[in-house]
Structure 1
């Protein structure tokens, strides 16, 4: 978890897919969530998500909850 803690307060670019559109939003990581419930019970993959605070203007189409639980694979360094 140490590596995930290092993401906090880092500037990133998140790819958010919403309503058949893809947006790249620059923001600062404010947290993460590791969902490993089914990993132990059923041997399924661990699902890691990141939450960000957008830095710039955001498209009107996107709602605030779109910035919570962004899959880690959709995050890259800014």
Structure 2
């Protein structure tokens, strides 16, 4: 999970970094959690934006809670 303030790159370079990664890895779908992230990617990537799936919009998607174990990289 990436937070908006993760990393050491300038905000102005986000679009170029994402587009390069999407093209190099033939990304067809980006999964996000939340409408803000979905809107941000659509606005930032414009015509280069692949399909975005907002996990919060899926009714039967499992919600992580403290009772559901997660890996060390995805703990609250």
Please indicate, yes or no, whether the TM-score normalized by the shorter chain is above 0.5.
no
More strand by share: 1
More helix by share: 2
Q: Which protein has the larger Cα radius of gyration, Structure 1 or Structure 2?
A: 2
TM, length-normalised to structure 1: 0.21
